Structure 1
Amino acid sequence: MSQSIRFAVALSTLALPSILVAQPNSDDRFDAADESILVLGEREKEARQRINHITEVIVRDPRIDQPIARQYDAICIGILGMSAEYAEALIWQMEDNARALKIRVAPEGCRVNTLAAFVENGQAEVEGLRKSAPWLFETLRDYEFKRILNGNNGTYAWHSTKVKEVDEKDFTVKVLKCFPSCPPREVYTADPFMATRMAQQIRVDMIGSVVIIEKSRVPGKTVRQLADYVSMRSFASVNDIPAGEPHTTPTILSLFNNGGLAPDGLSQFDWSYLKALYNLPRTARGAQIHDATWSAYRKRALKLNAEPSSDE
């Protein structure tokens, strides 16, 4: 069976046992020793500019008129291309990360909806999958597929999404044609229909997540780094840090950037971004993640700066 076929079959049918390892169910997974958040002498304005810049670099803006996408249902993680021992360690770490964000983890026997695959040729794999398993890409538009192929340093990630009402009910999607020059537009209608002058009360669910990493990029990376990287790309719609980007703010998204050193795992910024994302209202638009990330980052900075030194 080809790699592409195994990959597609895995996402639709693979059932994996839960990794039954007791872990603290912490709501705050920051590591105090991870980095200096507000370095001595750095003004708050400068820090905010730094965090706003890195947020701008990584965020994938949602489609116009749609909220930012998140994981709402329980996740079921599958790993391809790794030995069983390493796969279990990756799953364990990713599940722990999910619980810290209050993302539910599916029980034993679940069907995989969050997949990480380690392959020889990532671009060939993605292009092959589009032919052999087009359903993996059916919610993506052409520009979103092209964005996948622009993956940084042998990594490729995307999500399948579904628009729902805030209370989880499904919408009926209708396409309004516009002639002669404007493109068709999707309209979401509820049943029963309710007229309102308020903004659409919709949310966007991540219903499938795929992260592909070329095996040639794995040597030298720890299990924690790989698991935290896949977590970041699976739980949020973000880009890698591009080559040449100044490393003024540590982030696991620089793990495969040849130009810099990556942190040992999810950094203070990474956790701030994820916590902000999963604390936003379900109807939150993409622009709201910037202020929310800075608020979460600053809150953590003040907390750490207030803690007494271990030397005292």
Structure 2
Amino acid sequence: MKRILSAALAALLLGAPAWQALHAQDDAIVVTGEREKARLRAASLAKAITSPPPAGTPLARQYQPLCLRVFGIQADVAAIIADRIADNARSAGVIIAKPGCQANAFLGVFRGGRGAVERLRKEQPWLFETMLRYEVDRVFAGTSPVYAWHATEVRSVDGRPLPTGEIDIGGRKAEVKMNNQYAGGRLVSPIRADVTGSIVLIEGAATQGKTAGQIADYASMRLLAPLRDAPADRHGVETILSLFDADASPPAELTTFDRAYLRGFYRLGPGAGAAAMHDATMKAYADAEKAVAADPPAG
């Protein structure tokens, strides 16, 4: 009881400056706690939406300069979208190819739904030839108006193509990729996975009511990283990946989470797997918060 009374008296006797300082400390604790929760939510969402690569293969990334082709969209709007995607890619740390380059990333608006994409699979099999069966099934799963995937190639950690060799499996010869490159320890991956082609196709009807900026920012996420869409309010984190969720009120542009995800993704080492996106996004999210605190937006 004495301790309770003493605390009450101390509170009454505190001068205004001291009382304000006490409240400021409480507020700081609350703000810090909320920020930590936001980072954890962002990291949890990052882990949930990252599509795991085949067993033993790192996450595939864009190591070569990005060369984008946009089709099925009015030319002047397509140019705006392409420029914005290039800006987003640069911000994440991706190099942009010079004009006249050979396209390795494709964004298209189309009609015909799944049937049109199935025809594309038959007519342009090279777009799918590096994918395993379950990865192809993942492209066609669900009811999303978006079809997105990556063509990939496993290479040595320095980017050199791996030679093909033959091994005997039960009396049958099988071709496999072989890597004779020395790795300087078990924590250093001897291989990496290169994205050789990125494809995002959006059903035309689904683009109604969406801005060019939203389309560009959404496509940036799907082109640059192997991830899935996020339903509205998933993990309590706002993301442009909810753009085609019928129950969502999507953001107008890339969110703090989206930018943190891409920056975290391209900071990873070449041997990183899907689980690494939890910590990578959390760190990038914290860095983004610090940047805003140091240079808050005007107004």
Q: Provide TM-score, normalisation by structure 2.
A: 0.81
Aligned residue among 203, 207, 210 for 1:218: 207
Q: Distance in 2 between matches of 1:307 and 1:200?
A: 38
Q: Distance in 2 between matches of 1:195 and 1:45?
A: 37
Deviations along 1:202-237, one digit per CA (max 9) or x if unpaired, are 111001011000000111111111011111100000
Amino acid at match of 1:114: A
The offset of 1:94, in angstroms, is: 1.0
| 1:117 counterpart SS class | strand
Paired residue total: 269
**Residues 64-79 of structure 1 mapped to structure 2, 5 A cutoff:** 64-79=55-70
Q: Distance in 1 between matches of 2:174 and 2:101?
A: 36
Does the 8 Å contact 1:152/1:240 carry over to 2? no
Aligned residue among 218, 230, 255 for 1:229: 218
Deviations along 1:258-311, one digit per CA (max 9) or x if unpaired, are 111111111100110100111111222221111010011012223323546857
Identity of aligned residues (%): 36
**Residues 136-175 of structure 1 mapped to structure 2, 5 A cutoff:** 136-150=127-141, 153-174=144-165
Q: Cα 1:209–1:151, aligned 2, differ >3 Å: closer, same or farther?
A: farther
Q: Distance in 2 between matches of 1:212 and 1:160?
A: 14
Q: Distance in 1 between matches of 2:245 and 2:297?
A: 34
Q: Which residue of the partner structure matches residue 52 of structure 1? A: 43
Q: Distance in 2 between matches of 1:217 and 1:45?
A: 36
Q: Which residue of the partner structure matches residue 279 of structure 2? A: 291
Q: Distance in 2 between matches of 1:302 and 1:45?
A: 12
Q: Which residue of the partner structure matches residue 205 of structure 1? A: 194
| 2:222 counterpart SS class | helix
Q: Distance in 2 between matches of 1:270 and 1:289?
A: 12
**Residues 90-169 of structure 1 mapped to structure 2, 5 A cutoff:** 90-150=81-141, 153-169=144-160
| 2:51 counterpart SS class | coil
Q: Distance in 2 between matches of 1:142 and 1:175?
A: 22
Q: Which residue of the partner structure matches residue 8 of structure 1? A: none
Q: Which runs of 5+ in 1 are unaligned?
A: 1-37
Does the 8 Å contact 2:183/2:189 carry over to 1? no
Q: Which runs of 5+ in 2 are unaligned?
A: 1-28
Q: Which residue of the partner structure matches residue 234 of structure 2? A: 246
Amino acid at match of 2:265: L
**Residues 295-310 of structure 1 mapped to structure 2, 5 A cutoff:** 295-307=283-295
Q: Which residue of the partner structure matches residue 8 of structure 2? A: none
Q: Cα 1:208–1:282, aligned 2, differ >3 Å: closer, same or farther?
A: same
Q: Cα 1:185–1:154, aligned 2, differ >3 Å: closer, same or farther?
A: farther
Amino acid at match of 2:52: D
Does the 8 Å contact 2:189/2:270 carry over to 1? no
Q: Cα 1:168–1:250, aligned 2, differ >3 Å: closer, same or farther?
A: same
Q: Which residue of the partner structure matches residue 31 of structure 1? A: none
Higher helix proportion: 2
